[in-house]
Structure 1
Amino acid sequence: MPHPDASAFDAAVARQARLTKPAGSLGKLETLACQFAAWQGRAIPSRLRPAITVFAADHGVARSGVSAYPVEVTAEMVKNFVRGGAAISVLAREIDATLEVVDVGVAADFDPAMPIVHAKVRYGSRNLCDEPAMQEQECEQAIEAGRAAARRAIAAGATLLIAGEMGIGNTTPSAALICALSGARPVDVVGRGTGVDDQGMARKRGAVEKALLRARTTDTAAGWLAEVGGLEIAAIAGYYLEAASAGVPALVDGFITAAAALVACGIDIDTRDWLLASHRSRELGHELALTAMGLEPLYDFGLRLGEGSGAALTVPMLQMAIRLHADMATFAEAGVSDRDHE
């Protein structure tokens, strides 16, 4: 896996020191510009070309009362993405990003002519409480679907990848993965997801505890993914792995994508060098997952939608950080005395 370009980072830091502003006055915007310089291998990075891929799948555990919405919503939302009515559809248009929807495991049939990527591995995962969510081969197939999506986006010219997800019940497998891979307790990770009541919360926590106990002898990130994960989570892990392999940065959105990123980093720790956390969601355990990867979120607006929405909202700020770095004059160019001038 490639590594960010340290010399380009140093050159960007040196340029920041020469721009017509007090040193460090743009705060994290300066750091971000230098980070993208390292990722692009140039002292002055180019404007970003974002690509958004939304992976959709259903979950056997959803029928155990762990979500406030029925499982049919997954398929209905896929159609909403295609019609352009979902939040991520609106945001993709606003930030001039491509948007691709991948059916990797929705428990419904779609018209073959529907403009999505038809990569269904199976009709939803199995109930993780009672058996492995995926067989090893199914998990690998879902990972490859994510890798293929990243390759398509990069081949089309994307320089920033954003993964989104849709899958009723998917905060439950995500919580199980975060617990398994970080060592955290379910009580510290399991949240309300789509807004379950106290009884639903108890069912979610019980489902995670039962799944972790059932699969307790598992000892690898890939193994945990198959045991307690989900098809779209596996695809997103593959998406991040492929992005890092190609040397293209990816934004980590909310709770589900953080669980997938944690899996990807467990499979190859160097994946972390190519990830940037967009925000801190309201979902319990999200920050814990980011901390486990050494990622610091850029903002906190109390979001918990998913779909890649929080990451998409970050893009204009990233574009501004790069534009400031590229277009501001240096002290010498502007004829302005710097603080060392006598």
Structure 2
Amino acid sequence: MNIENQLQQKIDTKTKPIGALGMLEKLAFKIGTIQSSLSPKLTAPTMIVFAGDHGIANHGVSAYPQEVTHQMVLNFLNGGAAINVFSKQHDIELKIVDAGVNFDFPSNDTLISAKIANGTQSFLEEKAMTAAQFQDSIEKGASIVKEIAQSGTNIIGFGEMGIGNTSSSAIIMSYLCNIPIEDCVGKGTGVEGDQLSNKINILKKTKDFHGTITSPEEVLTTFGGFEMVQMYGAMLEAQRQGMIILVDGFIASTVFLAAYKTNPSIQKNAIFCHLSDESGHLRLLNYLNAEPILKLNMRLGEGTGCALAYPLIKSAVAFLNEMASFESASVSEKSQTEAS
């Protein structure tokens, strides 16, 4: 009997009706499959928040100015953001990465410096980054995950911070899913009305300017942020390391989409933590045939959805490992005969 059948049998013979623990059963099955174990473990959970600035932010696509990126990174480093609170609450180690913020941070033990440049170029006028910067970003993201894996971590979450990155995500999704940009664009940091119309128009002009692009690598080079490409490299490395990959909201899911297009087997390692209130996210999750754990009307980013879903993931592993079976508890199973 293969590991999948053994896991399903173990889940089905717990002291409960079959399927009664709903999504927890699916999570237990997935985690057991990732680890190829009937008794999986979660060790040293870690959250990485990649931060970077975007040239497109200077075209009015965000409700906030670009300097909010570095201000929020300082907030992360001072422990004041939502992701700090939730990571601390659930004993998740938090790592902040400067992938390409337009700010020179003072030396800080909690900041991983992986800066490619002080933000990308505006993709309205040219490619966001060079091919060399793209490759450097992938390598830096992968290197960060390799080091984390060596410390014993087997479950890793991905978050981001970067004013303008919902615009990048929307256009990446539009290209890789081959759907109109209007179906991908949302409020982001809170743009509405004329500002939202302006955001859509800018992204339409961008697609007209760049024309047809098909490969995920070229799409990321043209429209991605350094934080997004580092996350892409990090996700692919996490899959190579056999880790459980926790995917946050719209931006992280868009990066995952690119990783999936590059290596479809990464889907086996991924848990989608929440449905973002960003309008394109549901369509993206449907495209990926992914079922999110939570729906809390959040659109904050930072990896907050991963941190909030983690206790439920722990519960899935706990029931698989600790809950009695019908046999061990001497409880009668459902009758195999139907009443006539």
The alignment's TM-score, normalised by the length of structure 1, stands at: 0.95
C-alpha offsets along residues 89-131 of structure 1, whole Å, 9 cap, x if unaligned? 1111111111111101000111134531111001101001110
For the residues of structure 2 that align with 1:341 and 1:132, how far apart are their CA atoms?
63
For the residues of structure 1 that align with 2:296 and 2:313, how far apart are their CA atoms?
17
Equivalent residue for 1:37? 32
8 A Cα contact 1:9 1:43, kept in partner: no
- Do residues 280 (structure 1) and 280 (structure 2) align? no
**Given residue 118 of structure 1, which amino acid in structure 2 is its aligned partner?**
S
Equivalent residue for 2:117? 122
**Given residue 28 of structure 1, which amino acid in structure 2 is its aligned partner?**
M
8 A Cα contact 1:47 1:323, kept in partner: no
For the residues of structure 2 that align with 1:144 and 1:198, how far apart are their CA atoms?
40
Equivalent residue for 2:162? 167
**Given residue 209 of structure 2, which amino acid in structure 1 is its aligned partner?**
R
Equivalent residue for 1:3? none
8 A Cα contact 2:43 2:152, kept in partner: no
User: Aligned-pair distance for 1:197?
Assistant: 2.6
For the residues of structure 2 that align with 1:320 and 1:29, how far apart are their CA atoms?
7
8 A Cα contact 2:176 2:214, kept in partner: no
Superposition pairs for residues 224-239 of structure 1, below 5 Å? 224-239=219-234
- Do residues 269 (structure 1) and 264 (structure 2) align? yes
- Do residues 220 (structure 1) and 215 (structure 2) align? yes
Superposition pairs for residues 174-323 of structure 1, below 5 Å? 174-323=169-318
- Runs (4+) off by over 4 Å: none
**Given residue 208 of structure 2, which amino acid in structure 1 is its aligned partner?**
L
For the residues of structure 1 that align with 2:265 and 2:35, how far apart are their CA atoms?
17
Equivalent residue for 2:65? 70
Question: Could you tell which deviates more after superposition, 283-292 or 55-64?
Answer: 283-292
| Gap runs ≥5 in structure 2 | none
Question: Could you tell which deviates more after superposition, 252-261 or 200-209?
Answer: 200-209
User: Aligned-pair distance for 1:54?
Assistant: 0.4
8 A Cα contact 1:254 1:308, kept in partner: yes
Equivalent residue for 1:11? 6
- Do residues 100 (structure 1) and 95 (structure 2) align? yes
User: Aligned-pair distance for 1:341?
Assistant: 7.8
What is the RMSD of the two structures over their aligned residues, measured on CA atoms?
1.5
Q: Residues 228 and 83 of structure 1: is their aligned pair in 2 closer, same or farther, counting only changes over 3 Å?
A: same
User: Aligned-pair distance for 1:211?
Assistant: 1.9
User: Aligned-pair distance for 1:251?
Assistant: 1.1
Q: Residues 338 and 60 of structure 1: is their aligned pair in 2 closer, same or farther, counting only changes over 3 Å?
A: same
For the residues of structure 2 that align with 1:294 and 1:45, how far apart are their CA atoms?
24
| Gap runs ≥5 in structure 1 | 1-5
For the residues of structure 1 that align with 2:176 and 2:151, how far apart are their CA atoms?
34
Aligned mate of 1:51, from 43, 46, 49: 46
